Amino acid sequence: MADSPATAPDAAPRTPITLADCEICSRLSDYESAFEKYADPSATRSWPPEGDRLAPVPEGPGAPTNHGFRRCPVCGMFYAWDYTYEYLANGSEDEWTLTRLTPGEARKFLSDAEYAARIARQQAEAASPEARNRHYAAQCLTVDGVLRASAEPASGFLRSGDEALRKGALAAARRIVDHDAYHAGLTPLAPALRELLDAKDAADASMARYVLRWSKPG
Ligand SMILES: [Zn+2]
């Protein structure tokens, strides 16, 4: 097992690979899910095959069996993995989800040096010609800023005319409130979020409203 890169605890690659260039992560959305309902195969939503190429992150004894983390063996990206089972008389339901994480959300698995290197790389990726890389960079840098209770760079992303940066920052803020409502680090983003309430893009306005509802007033 020790020889297998798929199960090595430190599966980080030596050469940085961007999201768009990773043969696994480029084929996975920020959020993936699979669903099975017993006695109703038509309701099945299948798991992306790349999801099975991610390596479980060892968490030691006592770790929950319905929640854990996965890591990409190619680029070192972290994902949260969750499983839910619901017993229903007309056919029980199983659901699996995979959520791509930023370095800040996977902080406990990264050394200070590795975290700093990943954030520095994402600062460069925020100007990438690939929209996907900018979208992910905005998520990474927004979470990093929120952890430091800093208004920037997320406020700049939220005010950006670049949809990839704006929607990346909104997606990250949304994940933070879903995970940790009233996180104090979101308060500095309130002015930029309020400006989006009247946005022409209805999805942006509704996401900003949602994040503000679950943020402390700023
Ligand atoms: Zn990857």
Among 46, 80, 100, the domain boundary falls at: 100
Give residue 137 CA to ligand 1 midpoint distance, Å: 14
Is 128 in the same domain as 95? no
Sort strands 78-86 and 93-100 into parallel, antiparallel or unpaired: antiparallel
Cα atoms found within 13 Å of the Cα of residue 96, Cβ hemisphere only:
15
Give residue 76 CA to ligand 1 midpoint distance, Å: 6
Give residue 5 CA to ligand 1 midpoint distance, Å: 13
Which residues contact residue 58 at a Cβ distance below 8 angstroms, ignoring those fewer than 6 apart?
A: 7, 9
pLDDT at 36: 85
Distance CA 118, CA 139 (A): 13
pLDDT at 135: 98
Distances in Å between the Cα of 181 and the Cα atoms of 90, 173, 174, 187, 193 are 34, 10, 9, 11, 16
Q: What is the pLDDT of residues 104-131, one digit of tens each?
A: 999 999 999 999 999 999 999 999 999 9
Domain range spanning residue 117? 107-213
Give residue 132 CA to ligand 1 midpoint distance, Å: 13
Is 46 in the same domain as 130? no
pLDDT at 110: 95
- Beta pairing partners, 152: none
pLDDT at 46: 84
Residue 6 lies in a domain: no
Give residue 58 CA to ligand 1 midpoint distance, Å: 18
pLDDT at 45: 83
Residue 13 lies in a domain: no
Is 86 in the same domain as 60? yes
pLDDT at 64: 81
pLDDT at 181: 86
Q: Looking at the 3D structure of the chain, how many domains does it have?
A: 2
Q: What is the pLDDT of residues 140-151, one digit of tens each?
A: 999 999 999 999
pLDDT at 14: 54
Residues of the chain where predicted confidence (pLDDT) is lower than 50: 1-9
Give residue 142 CA to ligand 1 midpoint distance, Å: 20
Give residue 8 CA to ligand 1 midpoint distance, Å: 15
The alpha-helical segments, DSSP class H, found in the chain are 112-125, 131-147, 154-158, 163-179, 190-195, 202-213
Among 58, 73, 100, the domain boundary falls at: 100
Give residue 19 CA to ligand 1 midpoint distance, Å: 6
Among 100, 122, 141, the domain boundary falls at: 100
Distance CA 36, CA 22 (A): 28
Q: What does 63-76 look like in DSSP terms, one character per residue?
A: --SSEEEEE-TTT-
Residue 204 lies in a domain: yes
Q: What is the pLDDT of residues 18-28, one digit of tens each?
A: 999 999 999 99
Residue 1 lies in a domain: no
Is 164 in the same domain as 132? yes
Q: Supply the DSSP symbol for 182.
A: T
Give residue 23 CA to ligand 1 midpoint distance, Å: 7
Cα atoms found within 13 Å of the Cα of residue 14, Cβ hemisphere only:
1
Give residue 27 CA to ligand 1 midpoint distance, Å: 9
Give residue 176 CA to ligand 1 midpoint distance, Å: 22
Q: Are 119 and 98 in contact (CB under 8 A)?
A: no
Give residue 202 CA to ligand 1 midpoint distance, Å: 31
Residue 9 lies in a domain: no
Give residue 75 CA to ligand 1 midpoint distance, Å: 4
Give residue 190 CA to ligand 1 midpoint distance, Å: 33
Buried b (16+ CB within 10 A) or exposed e, 91-129: eebeebbbbbbbbbbbeebbeeeebeebbeebeebbebe
